[in-house]
Chain A
Amino acid sequence: MTGTVENDQDSYQGDDDHGHGNDHHHTPTGIKRWLYSTNHKDIGSLYLGFSLIMLLIGGAMAMVIRAELFQPGLQLIEPNFFNQMTTVHGLVMVFGAVMPAFVGLANWMIPLMIGAPDMALPRMNNWSFWILPFAFAMLLGSLFMEGGGPNFGWTFYAPLSTTYSNSNTALFVFSVHIMGISSIMGAINVIVTIINMRAPGMTWMKMPMFVWTWFITAFLLIAVMPVLAGAVTMVLTDKYFGTSFFDAMGGGDPVMFQHIFWFFGHPEVYIMILPAFGIISTIVPTFSRKKLFGYHSMVYATGSIAFLSFIVWAHHMFTTGMPLAAELFFMYSTMLISVPTGVKVFNWVATMWRGAISFEVPMLFAIAFIVLFTIGGLSGLMLAITPADFQYHDTYFVVAHFHYVLVTGALFSIMAAVYFWLPKWTGNMFDIRLGKTHFWLSLISVNVLFFPMHFVGLAGMPRRIPDYALQFADFNAIISLGGFAFGLSQLLFVWCVIKCVKGGDKVDAKVWDGAEGLEWEVPSPAPHHTFATPPVIK
């Protein structure tokens, strides 16, 4: 370990010079400050701002979907446009809102948490952010073009995305390529930073949980984002260049698309939840005023989940006619994931047990996360049961399941993280009453929105269809009202964040009295350059 420490010193010397250079000329002003910035805090803020805009755009699409589904029959939009809305809503939320938000948090917090002056590869960091707006401009722009945007679902199953897709599919493909390149560069940056730039004395098992979960997530990203790029490339050549990867006419197989897609897709869902586990593992001990229960088991559980995520992909495909042996294998391996996930949930509860708990806004979101994510996990376990899955497949039960894990899971954890670190970023305390109002309105409306989806799903309402049978009308009206309430509640979040950035009560370096970690040793707001001299971890 001593060798590593000395090496770390060397790399600080190098980065330090760079930092000083910046100080002398100082940063350009206006838009150029953001365009040219290689500072991890600036880029983190850019990612988070971008993700917030994407959340609102994707949310607006969800509002269109819920407005159409408010009543049975076709009222507002054409079925084809409805399909474009479900598709682009999914793509924007997954690749535009959740993933960039986590990358933004990683940019801001990982160097602060490990005592590094910046990310290891600052120019690549700049590039990996600034290609994202182009990707989404292409994707969203295709909605306004003749023929419309992608309408084959965010999973772009062949032949829907090849034989039956519109001629703007190339725009979808290239935008996914760019998003993939951005994510891969972000992941490489995180790995290099964590391996090479930890402060002297910060051994692997002293790393904060958020750093650990991001470290593992980054490896998942490197392993599967290129596979997604490969899958969209095959769709591109099948559609435009006459190859037959997924076309039986030329000897291909459309089921193979699903295998390749879900080989990416299943690790992807853990990419969107592992950093959330890290955030919750940071917030819960802070407001319970105890150490995290079972730190080592948390690290191993994260690793186990990452490993298992590669051998469960075909549980998305139970109804494709797999042989019994394969269905059993994927059923059991999927259920196995609940063991390390259960370890995490029990550890969070054990951390709170007999703690001096206080209910600040980040803690409220964290507790809501634990309860509601567990509901999403349990419905996932139900979906893992192969014979039952034939009933649940492609119904609103699945929609309820993945929104519980992604909205009340990933999104709530991101909001918890923003409320937790916003005072550190801005130096101002947010409006606590506004934050609490946002929390309670979100908590109630999100359950009105997603919980009844379980019922209509079990009763057989199919997903991705703009109309439904009359017996689902009452529940759908309730779901839509919950949706509108949840959508409007998020405007309070935007207001709260903007208000906090503009001003508020000044906070100390250590914003929360139970907080631990290097990020609370730098002043609030965190200065442009931190840890130019590495701290020493005892």
Chain B
Amino acid sequence: MSKHNKLFKRLIFASVGMFFFAFALVPLYDVFCDVTGLNGKPSLEQAKISEDVVNDRLVDVGFITHVQNKAPFKVRVDQDIVTVKPGEMNQVVFSATNLTDETRIMQAVPSISPGLAAQYMHKVECFCFAQQTFLPGETMDLTLLFYIDTAIDNEIEELTLSYTVFDIVNNE
């Protein structure tokens, strides 16, 4: 019977190991996405200003905002699409309103499509770097300063920056 027990213990060990492997997939997934830049998650760190500008190329950058889970915010952007030169600094202003009569905290999560373009989008200033506190009924202008990397792939002619807006006060 001890022969059974030894094998049994090994197999139980393997099963338990695979259970934890499922959870290990979570950080592995993030590492994989970071290394390959696959899933369109842009960097959330402040970028340095570009030194040179490419004048003979133009890239269309579109903006989308999406309010998640009926969060009580209204978010608008002043321009839906801007056409930019790689390396050139651009400013886009979003305006957000707290629709309730309570103080709310907003977090915007950026995502870029196509995913491979994410590494070429550099944000010098973004409201998504920090949580934004809104007083009851307050409307705020939120500024985004960005430039497109001069190394951007020639195949990418347009990209879309999407902000998903969450209300993190009322997060049950």
Known contacts: A248-B164, A249-B109. The answer to whether A259 contacts B25 by CB under 8 A is yes
Is the CB of B93 closer than 8 A to any CB of chain A? no
**CA A11 – CA B3 in complex, angstroms?**
8
B36: which A residues are within 8 A, CB to CB?
Answer: 323
Q: Which of A50-58, A189-197, A437-445 contacts B (4 or more CB under 8 A)?
A: A189-197
Q: Residues 56-85 of chain A: 1 if any B CB is under 8 Å from the residue's CB, otherwise 0? A: 000000000000000000000000000000
The number of residues on chain B lying at the interface, defined by a beta carbon within 8 Å of a beta carbon of chain A, is 37
Q: Say yes or no: B25 contacts A120, CB within 8 Å.
A: no
What is the CB-to-nearest-CB distance from A360 to chain B, in angstroms, rounded to a whole number?
38
Taking a contact as CB atoms closer than 8 A, the residue among A14, A225, A249 that contacts B107 in the complex is A249
Q: Which of A105-113, A227-235, A279-287, A459-467 contacts B (4 or more CB under 8 A)?
A: A227-235
Q: Residues 6-33 of chain B: 1 if any A CB is under 8 Å from the residue's CB, otherwise 0? A: 0110011011111111110110010000
Taking a contact as CB atoms closer than 8 A, the residue among A188, A229, A249, A322 that contacts B11 in the complex is A188
Considering only residues 171-199 of chain A, those with a C-beta below 8 Å from chain B are: 184, 187-188, 191-192, 195-196
Is the CB of B54 closer than 8 A to any CB of chain A? no
A191: which B residues are within 8 A, CB to CB?
Answer: 7, 11
Is the CB of A163 closer than 8 A to any CB of chain B? yes
Is the CB of A473 closer than 8 A to any CB of chain B? no
Known contacts: A226-B19, A227-B19, A227-B21. The answer to whether A196 contacts B3 by CB under 8 A is yes
Is the CB of B38 closer than 8 A to any CB of chain A? yes
**CA A260 – CA B30 in complex, angstroms?**
13
Q: Say yes or no: B26 contacts A226, CB within 8 Å.
A: no
Q: Say yes or no: A227 contacts B22, CB within 8 Å.
A: yes
**CA A249 – CA B14 in complex, angstroms?**
34
Taking a contact as CB atoms closer than 8 A, the residue among B19, B39, B109, B168 that contacts A230 in the complex is B19
**CA A10 – CA B3 in complex, angstroms?**
10
Considering only residues 436-487 of chain A, those with a C-beta below 8 Å from chain B are: none
Q: Say yes or no: A222 contacts B14, CB within 8 Å.
A: yes
Is the CB of B69 closer than 8 A to any CB of chain A? yes
Is the CB of A256 closer than 8 A to any CB of chain B? yes
Known contacts: A163-B69, A256-B26. The answer to whether A196 contacts B4 by CB under 8 A is yes
B116: which A residues are within 8 A, CB to CB?
Answer: 323
What is the CB-to-nearest-CB distance from B12 to chain A, in angstroms, rounded to a whole number?
7
Is the CB of A224 closer than 8 A to any CB of chain B? yes
B1: which A residues are within 8 A, CB to CB?
Answer: 11, 14
What is the CB-to-nearest-CB distance from B24 to chain A, in angstroms, rounded to a whole number?
9
Considering only residues 34-59 of chain B, those with a C-beta below 8 Å from chain A are: 36, 38-40
Q: Say yes or no: A192 contacts B4, CB within 8 Å.
A: yes
Q: Say yes or no: A249 contacts B168, CB within 8 Å.
A: yes
Is the CB of A30 closer than 8 A to any CB of chain B? no
Tell which of B29, B68, B168 has the most Cβ of chain A within 10 Å: B29
**CA A196 – CA B6 in complex, angstroms?**
11
What is the CB-to-nearest-CB distance from A370 to chain B, in angstroms, rounded to a whole number?
33
Q: Say yes or no: B113 contacts A321, CB within 8 Å.
A: yes
Taking a contact as CB atoms closer than 8 A, the residue among A121, A255, A321 that contacts B8 in the complex is A121
Is the CB of A420 closer than 8 A to any CB of chain B? no
Q: Say yes or no: A245 contacts B7, CB within 8 Å.
A: no
Known contacts: A120-B4, A188-B12. The answer to whether A253 contacts B18 by CB under 8 A is no
Is the CB of B154 closer than 8 A to any CB of chain A? no
What is the CB-to-nearest-CB distance from B15 to chain A, in angstroms, rounded to a whole number?
5
Q: Say yes or no: B23 contacts A230, CB within 8 Å.
A: yes
Taking a contact as CB atoms closer than 8 A, the residue among A188, A196, A222, A259 that contacts B29 in the complex is A259
Q: Say yes or no: B4 contacts A121, CB within 8 Å.
A: yes
**CA A230 – CA B116 in complex, angstroms?**
30
Is the CB of B166 closer than 8 A to any CB of chain A? yes
Q: Say yes or no: B171 contacts A230, CB within 8 Å.
A: no
Is the CB of B115 closer than 8 A to any CB of chain A? yes
Q: Residues 261-299 of chain A: 1 if any B CB is under 8 Å from the residue's CB, otherwise 0? A: 001000000000000000000000000000000000000
B19: which A residues are within 8 A, CB to CB?
Answer: 226-227, 229-230
**CA A511 – CA B12 in complex, angstroms?**
39
What is the CB-to-nearest-CB distance from B68 to chain A, in angstroms, rounded to a whole number?
7
Is the CB of A223 closer than 8 A to any CB of chain B? yes
Taking a contact as CB atoms closer than 8 A, the residue among B11, B20, B164 that contacts A222 in the complex is B11
Taking a contact as CB atoms closer than 8 A, the residue among B39, B113, B168 that contacts A253 in the complex is B39
Residue of A nearest to B116 (CB): A323
Q: Residues 91-135 of chain B: 1 if any A CB is under 8 Å from the residue's CB, otherwise 0? A: 000000000000000010101011110000000000000000000
A192: which B residues are within 8 A, CB to CB?
Answer: 4, 7-8, 11
Residue of A nearest to B23 (CB): A230
**CA A14 – CA B40 in complex, angstroms?**
60
B107: which A residues are within 8 A, CB to CB?
Answer: 249
A358: which B residues are within 8 A, CB to CB?
Answer: none
Known contacts: A227-B19, A227-B21, A229-B22. The answer to whether A249 contacts B171 by CB under 8 A is yes
A224: which B residues are within 8 A, CB to CB?
Answer: 18
What is the CB-to-nearest-CB distance from A71 to chain B, in angstroms, rounded to a whole number?
36
Is the CB of A7 closer than 8 A to any CB of chain B? yes
B18: which A residues are within 8 A, CB to CB?
Answer: 222-227
A–B complex contacts, Cβ < 8 Å, 28 sampled: A7-B3, A11-B4, A14-B1, A120-B4, A121-B8, A163-B69, A184-B15, A188-B8, A188-B12, A191-B7, A191-B11, A192-B7, A192-B11, A222-B18, A226-B18, A226-B21, A227-B18, A227-B19, A230-B19, A230-B25, A245-B26, A248-B109, A249-B109, A249-B166, A249-B171, A260-B22, A260-B25, A323-B115
Q: Which residues of B contact A (CB under 8 A)?
A: 1, 3-4, 7-8, 11-12, 14-23, 25-26, 29, 36, 38-40, 68-69, 107, 109, 111, 113-116, 164, 166, 168, 171
Minimum-distance CB pairs A-B, first 6: A230-B22, A226-B18, A226-B19, A227-B22, A188-B11, A249-B166
